[in-house]
Amino acid sequence: MKTSNFQIVPLRTEIAEAARRAAAAGVSDHAVITADSPNGFPCRHCLRWAQLGERMILFPYASIPPGHPYSESGPIFVHAEPCERYKETGEFPANFRKHRVFRGYNANFNMIDAEVVKDSEPEVMIEKLLQNPEIAFVDTRSVTRGCYTFRIERV
């Protein structure tokens, strides 16, 4: 296992479970979608792409909490069935090496830097951003749709 100065922070299990309960209760902003393409439905809890035919819950998630200039809530997917939270937190998830943007935030949730991954070397981008001591965490998102994927913190 590669040693790195960062760790991957997948979506908390309590949030995935709450989304499953809300979808089961028919809450209007929690939609159940059946995956119909191989790389269109990333689960933020297990950090895998949904397989064709898997049911996913689509719901809004506040990656940057309310009360800040950069407050942000946007759509994410989790598996509708229970899945295992991504465990290899010292390793960048193989499924998301491409098509990601990295946004660096300070401790007050202000975005102070950003990079687009090039040549499939996300570790290089992350370590570059984390060299700035003002950056408290890095969020990675889809470069095309802009959706939050996961957080990266210093070890």
Sites of contact with Zn ion (CB under 5 A) = 43, 45-46, 79, 83
Residue 96 per-residue DSSP state? G
Q: State in angstroms the smallest separation of the CB of 58 from Zn ion.
A: 13
- Beta partners for residue 81, in sequence order: none
Decide if 26 contacts 47 (C-beta within 8 A).
no
Decide if 90 contacts 7 (C-beta within 8 A).
yes
Decide if 101 contacts 118 (C-beta within 8 A).
no
Strand locations in the chain, DSSP E? 6-9, 31-34, 55-64, 72-79, 100-105, 111-116, 137-142, 148-154
Which pair of tokens denotes residue 92? 């960048």
Q: State in angstroms the smallest separation of the CB of 73 from Zn ion.
A: 20
CB closer to Zn ion, 51 vs 71:
51
CB closer to Zn ion, 81 vs 127:
81
Helix (H, G, I), strand (E, B) or coil at 137: strand
Q: State in angstroms the smallest separation of the CB of 52 from Zn ion.
A: 15
CB closer to Zn ion, 76 vs 138:
76
CB closer to Zn ion, 83 vs 112:
83
